Amino acid sequence: MQTLVKELVETKVGKVKENELLAHHTTIKIGGPADVFVEPDSSESLRKVMAIVRKHQVNWRAIGRGSNLLVSDDGIEGVVIKIGEGLDELVIDGEEVTVGGGYPLIKLVTVISKQGLSGLEFAGGIPGSVGGAVYMNAGAHGSDMSRIVKKAQILFPDGTIEWLTNEQMEFSYRTSVLQTKRPGICLAAVLQLKKGEREEIVAAMQKNKDYRRDTQPWNYPCAGSIFRNPLPNYAGKLIEEAGLKGYAIGGAKISEQHANFIVNTGNAKAKDVLDLISYVKRTIHQLYGIHLETEVEIIGRKS
């Protein structure tokens, strides 16, 4: 690993750290160390990072702003690549928007709305990066990224870069081809939006933002929705009806504000969250015969 780190530093790809705690890079503030942590300063630097990773044949994992992510207490083996500054370009051309994978989604929604472009209002208040939103087909209020992504630029592990069309991205509920068949990193996306009344668009975006703030526990570190909605049911409603709001294991607690959120009350470990997830799954299955599936992505070394 030392040879790999030396090569990354000498290649000047951006920030390179060893044993970086991923609790500093997740919204739930949980996560052990990454063997190597890299923050590329450009898409070209990212390509160089991937080439070095391939050469040394080590495991790698890309992250964005760390929402919808639960990292093991034992951390992550290999290289963790954070997609952020340096991959956050933004070009607005009429109703078409080209945006880097590292661009913050909340910021994009605000900028786009003020430009009088409609289609992204649903994402008001959704944390995370554009790349992460494309990767997991983020959505809310009856819409999602699949409705507006025209194409996405993907860097694959073998170093090739392809533009995948909306159809090739194989979007479905909170997932895409990047999770299922073709692992890769979203470098950029082209969004197809529509011109509209600026005031109406900003108002709709703000309404969604306010709703999220008023109904979800963003005053505590959390990872976003823990479970996928088993439609036509809703995970939060089932968990609340089961009387589990406020139930805690260690420092992890089911939010009293929204039952599909697990919050870190200050000293939670990943194990606390995982034990709580297992308890909720067992309870919901016993009561309703429904198998809940996690929406939050669980990664890292197994204890």
pTM above 0.85, yes or no: yes
What's the CATH number where 18 sits? Answer: 3.30.43.10
What's the CATH number where 194 sits? Answer: 3.30.465.10
- The answer on 134 and 19 residing in a single domain is no
Helix (H) or strand (E) holding 203: helix 198-215
Q: How many domains does the chain have?
A: 3
Confidence label for 303 from pLDDT (cuts 50, 70 and 90): low
Verify whether residue 301 is a known catalytic residue. Answer: no
- The answer on 54 and 11 residing in a single domain is yes
- The answer on 205 and 129 residing in a single domain is yes
Catalytic residue, candidates 20, 39, 121, 295: 295
- The answer on 211 and 94 residing in a single domain is yes
Report helix angle 2-11 to 43-56, nearest 10: 160
Q: What is the DSSP track for 111-142?
A: HHHHTTEES-GGGTT--SBHHHHHHHT-EETT
What's the CATH number where 274 sits? Answer: 3.90.78.10
Q: Is 215 in contact with 258 (CB distance < 8 Å)?
A: yes
Last residue of a domain, one of 32, 47, 82: 82
Q: Among residues 161, 169, 212, which one has the least CA distance to residue 191? A: 169
Both tokens of 228, joined, read: 């996928």
Domain interval for residue 205: 90-215
Catalytic residue, candidates 174, 176, 212, 255: 174
Mean pLDDT of the chain: 94
- The answer on 98 and 61 residing in a single domain is no
Verify whether residue 174 is a known catalytic residue. Answer: yes
- The answer on 186 and 125 residing in a single domain is yes
Q: Is 178 in contact with 186 (CB distance < 8 Å)?
A: yes
d(C-alpha 300, C-alpha 49), whole Å: 20
Summarised one tens digit per residue, pLDDT across range 74-119 is 999 999 999 998 899 999 999 999 999 999 999 999 999 999 999 9
Catalytic residue, candidates 45, 113, 225, 255: 225
- The answer on 78 and 119 residing in a single domain is no
